[in-house]
């Protein structure tokens, strides 16, 4: 069966038109054109970064867009967002709205909902949008670096200015160096250039020669002292030296002292004994004294008795 | 020295006059499109044949070229996006670059190469053979009978073929996104929906209509400029084709400016 030209053209136009219309309808449905939109209002202190038609994103998926931006009587920016019916479930009372401005790509409002079981967001409630700005963050990080670079550039400029300035420090230093070198070229020595007097230079030279002689003499003396020290060393520390003999004597003395210690101990013991004996003597003395006293008393009594009697006889008991 | 400035001035005046003539001519044809009287049975027959020759006959080849070229392009673009780590932008690349820009351009280039050159030559040959004079002698309106069907055919063909090309590219895009990025169809369609913009699609369709209007009108205009000598045919055809390509570029730039504004 051969198809007529009219049929083929009609089929082509009809099928293609249907495909195009279906594609557009699918797109419209996907964009939520046929759904009842829910309008929410959020606020921000600044309208910077907000645009009409800006996407509203939840978990990386577009769920709505910014419908309108207004500035209210209090100077606060009021942002009206439109969310299709099938996405309204993601907007809850604890949802936070963040204006995210990435370094690359367009800005968007990101919705974060921690608890999906929380009650739906009241359409009359106006939460505030938190602003997260990659560009500003990056600028804030770069600013100190740029300041430092600026300071370095300023210093560098100052240095180059100083270098290029004929009256600058460097040029003055170079001028002085030139003077020194030219001066040095005309003088016989660096000392002559420093003191600017030939007689002084001669005197300095003579002093230096004398100093040399003195050091030679000092060297000689030191050598002698050194030899003497060597000899003294052998006499004191040698095998036959004084120090070993002193050591022997000291050892002998130590031995004798040890013996003497024992003797002293004995003497101490004897003196202790003598002391104890002296104590006994004292007691004996006191006993003798008592006895003598008693005898004396007895003699007195006898004298008394004898003195009273006519006959100086008496009977001894 | 004087002759140089004279030549330059003459050329500029000629260009401006030709541009103004083309605009006036385009206006006359455009008005006829919306006139009910234009759509006679003879005109409808011509229109049917023109759509058949321009769109239906070319359809298998066009779809094949679209799929092969589009798939290659999408494959390269996706591979680059993956290498640069910006696969998140592939929806915007697919809709903004390939569907709304490259698809109309590819369609208009194919139709220009096949049909616009044919229309240009046909008009020039008719002029040389005095067929147009004959039609006028028989009081047949040349604009209604010859011009308007071809221009309407251009508009319809470019719009429909470009849409088909876009659909073919989107299908191959789904295939390549699955092969290269490992993206499922659901995610792919969701990303496309997010990236798609009604205004961009409407601008693309309107641009296709403008392309269709001018890539048929300019060859007709240059074809009718042929003299009664056969040697004038290749001259007007080459002139017409150069002007068609210039018009395509101008329309492309204007559409980009429209998007930016």
Model ipTM?
0.85
Per-residue model confidence (pLDDT) at position B228: 83
* Helix axis angle, B198-223 to B2-33, nearest 10°: 110
* CA–CA dist B134, B126 (Å, integer): 10
Could you report the per-residue pLDDT of B182-204, keeping only the tens digit for each? Answer: 778 888 888 888 788 888 888 88
B56 → closest Cβ in A9, A19, A27: A9
Cross-chain residue pair B56–A61, CB shorter than 8 Å: no
Please give the sequence-ordered ranges of beta strands (E in DSSP) within B87-235, or none if there are none.
Answer: none
Across A251-279, average pLDDT: 89
pLDDT of residue B154: 94
The mean pLDDT value for A223-236 works out to: 88
Straight-line distance from the first to the last Cα atom of chain B, in angstroms, rounded to the nearest whole number: 43
- Is B31 inside any structural domain? no
- The answer, for A43 touching chain B at a CB cutoff of 8 Å, is no
> Under a CB-based contact definition with an 8 Å cutoff, are residues A111 and A95 in contact?
yes
Average pLDDT over residues B64-87: 82
B48 vs B171, more confident: B48
The answer to whether position B192 is within a domain reads yes
B171 close to A (CB below 8 A)? no
Interface test with B, best of A13, A57, A100 (most B CBs within 10 A): A13
List the beta bridge partners of residue A79.
Answer: A42, A69
DSSP string covering A86-131, please? GGGGG-BTT-EEEEEE-SSS--EEEEE-S-TTSPBPPTT--PBEEE
What is the structure's pLDDT at A308? 65
Distance CA B28, CA A167 (A): 81
In a domain, B90, yes or no: yes
Chain A residues with CB-CB distance to B196 below 8 A: 27, 30-31
E strand or H helix that includes residue A17: helix A5-30
Residue A17 has what pLDDT? 92
pLDDT higher than 90, residue B159: yes
- Residues B22-45: what's their mean pLDDT? 90
A232-261 CB burial, b ≥16 within 10 A, e <16: eeeeeeeeeeeeeeeeeeeeeeeeeeeeee
Local confidence band at B1 (pLDDT 50, 70, 90 cut-offs) = low
Contact A40, A81 (CB under 8 A): yes
Give residue B117's domain range.
41-260
Chain B partners within 8 Å of A56 (Cβ): none
Residue A103 pLDDT more than 80?
no
Burial annotation A205-225 (CB, 10 A radius, 16+ → b, else e): eeeeeeeeeeeeeeeeeeeee
Sequence-separated contacts (24+) of A86-91 with Cβ below 8 Å: A86/A32, A86/A35, A87/A32, A87/A58, A87/A63, A88/A38, A88/A120, A89/A116, A89/A120, A90/A58, A90/A59, A90/A63, A90/A116, A91/A38, A91/A40, A91/A120, A91/A121
The listed range with the strongest mean pLDDT (A42-46, B2-6, B119-123) is B119-123
Give me the mean pLDDT over the B166-176 stretch: 84
Task: Determine the Cα–Cα distance for residues A10 and A297; give it in Å rounded to an integer.
Answer: 183
Q: What is the pLDDT of residue A168?
A: 77
In a domain, B110, yes or no: yes
- Give the helix/strand (H/E) hosting A50: none
- Which of B52, B171, B187 would you mutate first to test chain A, the one with the most A CBs within 10 A? B52
Return the percentage of chain A with pLDDT > 90, whole number. Answer: 15
Q: What is the arithmetic mean of pLDDT over A8-27?
A: 90
Tell me the pLDDT band of B102, cut-offs 50, 70 and 90.
confident
- Where does the pLDDT of residue B119 fall: very low under 50, low under 70, confident under 90, or very high at 90 and above? very high
**Domain residue ranges in chain A:** 1-34, 36-138, 248-273
Predicted pLDDT at A316: 61
The sign one gets for the Cα dihedral A258, A259, A260, A261 is positive
* Of the candidates B249, B236, B7, the residue with the CA atom closest to the CA atom of residue B122: B236
pLDDT at A1: 66
pLDDT at B248 over 90: yes
| pLDDT at residue B254 tops 60 | yes
Average pLDDT of chain A to the nearest whole number: 84
Residue B23 has pLDDT above 60, yes or no: yes
- Share of residues in chain A with pLDDT > 70 (%): 91
pLDDT at A313 (0 to 100): 60
In this structure, are residues B241 and B108 in contact, taking their beta carbons and an 8 Å threshold? no
Question: Does A13 contact B156 at a Cβ distance shorter than 8 Å?
Answer: yes
The proportion of chain B whose per-residue pLDDT surpasses 70, expressed as a percent, equals: 100
Q: For residue B199, what pLDDT is reported?
A: 81
Q: Is B45 part of a structural domain of the chain?
A: yes
What is the count of structural domains for chain B? 1
Q: Lowest-pLDDT range, A127-141, A240-254, A261-275, B162-176?
A: A127-141
- What residues in A contact B193, CB-CB < 8 Å? 27, 30-31, 62
The average confidence (pLDDT) of chain B is 88
Of A5, A27, A28, the CB nearest to B52: A5
- Please check whether residue B194 touches A, CB under 8 A: yes
- The Cα–Cα gap between B162 and B109 comes to 11
Any idea which of A148-152, A183-187, B216-220 has the lowest mean pLDDT?
A183-187
CA angle A98, A103, A104 (to 5 degrees): 105
């Amino acid at each position: 069966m051969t198809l007529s030209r009219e049929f083929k053209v009609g089929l082509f136009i009809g099928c293609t038109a249907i495909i195009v219309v279906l594609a557009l309808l699918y797109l419209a449905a996907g964009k939520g054109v046929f759904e009842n939109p829910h309008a929410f209002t959020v606020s921000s202190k600044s309208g910077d970064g907000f645009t009409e038609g800006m996407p509203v994103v939840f978990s990386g998926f577009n769920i709505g867009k910014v419908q309108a931006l207004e500035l209210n009587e209090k100077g606060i920016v009021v942002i009206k967002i439109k969310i299709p019916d099938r996405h309204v479930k993601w907007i809850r009372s604890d949802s936070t709205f963040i204006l995210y401005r990435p370094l690359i790509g367009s800005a968007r409002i990101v919705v974060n909902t921690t608890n999906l079981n929380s009650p739906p967001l009241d359409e009359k409630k106006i939460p505030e949008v938190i602003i997260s700005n990659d560009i500003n963050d990056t600028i804030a990080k770069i600013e100190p670096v740029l300041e430092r670079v600026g300071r370095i550039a300023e210093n560098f400029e100052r240095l180059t200015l100083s270098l290029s300035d004929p009256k600058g420090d460097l040029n003055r230093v170079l001028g002085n160096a030139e003077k020194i070198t030219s001066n040095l070229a005309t003088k016989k020595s660096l000392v002559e250039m420093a003191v600017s007097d030939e007689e002084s230079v001669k005197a300095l030279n003579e002093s230096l020669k004398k100093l040399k002689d003195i050091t030679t003499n000092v060297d000689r003396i030191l050598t002698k002292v050194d030899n003497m020290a060597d000899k003294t060393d052998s006499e004191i520390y040698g095998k036959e030296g004084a120090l070993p003999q002193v050591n022997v004597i000291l050892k002998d003395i130590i031995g004798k002292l040890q013996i003497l210690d024992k003797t002293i101990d004995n003497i101490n013991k004897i003196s202790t004994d003598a002391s104890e004996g002296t104590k006994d003597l004292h007691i004996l003395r006191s006993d003798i004294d008592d006895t003598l006293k008693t005898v004396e008393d007895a003699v007195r009594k006898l004298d008394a008795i004898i003195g009273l009697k006519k006959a100086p006889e008496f009977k001894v008991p | 020295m004087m002759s140089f400035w004279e030549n330059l001035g003459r050329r500029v005046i000629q260009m401006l006059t030709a541009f103004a003539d083309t605009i006036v001519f385009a206006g006359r044809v455009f008005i006829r499109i919306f006139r009910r009287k234009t759509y006679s049975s003879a005109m409808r027959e011509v229109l049917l044949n023109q759509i058949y020759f321009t769109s239906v006959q070319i359809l298998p080849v066009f779809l094949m070229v679209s799929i092969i070229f589009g798939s290659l392009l999408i494959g390269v673009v996706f591979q680059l996006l993956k290498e640069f780590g910006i696969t998140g932008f592939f929806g915007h690349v697919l809709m903004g670059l390939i569907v709304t820009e490259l698809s109309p351009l590819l369609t208009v280039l194919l139709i220009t190469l096949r049909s616009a050159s044919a229309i240009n030559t046909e008009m020039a040959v008719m002029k040389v053979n005095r067929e147009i004079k004959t039609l006028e002698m028989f009081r047949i309106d040349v604009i209604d009978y010859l011009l308007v069907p071809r221009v309407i055919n251009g508009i319809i063909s470019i719009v429909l073929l470009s849409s088909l090309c876009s659909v073919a590219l989107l299908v191959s895009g789904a295939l390549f996104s699955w092969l290269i990025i490992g993206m499922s169809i659901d995610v792919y369609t969701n990303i496309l929906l997010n990236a798609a913009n009604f205004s961009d699609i409407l601008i693309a369709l309107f641009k296709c209509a403008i392309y269709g209007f001018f890539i048929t009108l300019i060859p007709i205009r240059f074809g009718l400029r042929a003299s009664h000598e056969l040697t004038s045919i290749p001259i007007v055809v080459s002139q017409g084709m150069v002007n068609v390509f210039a018009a395509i570029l101008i329309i492309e730039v204007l559409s980009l400016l429209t998007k930016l504004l």
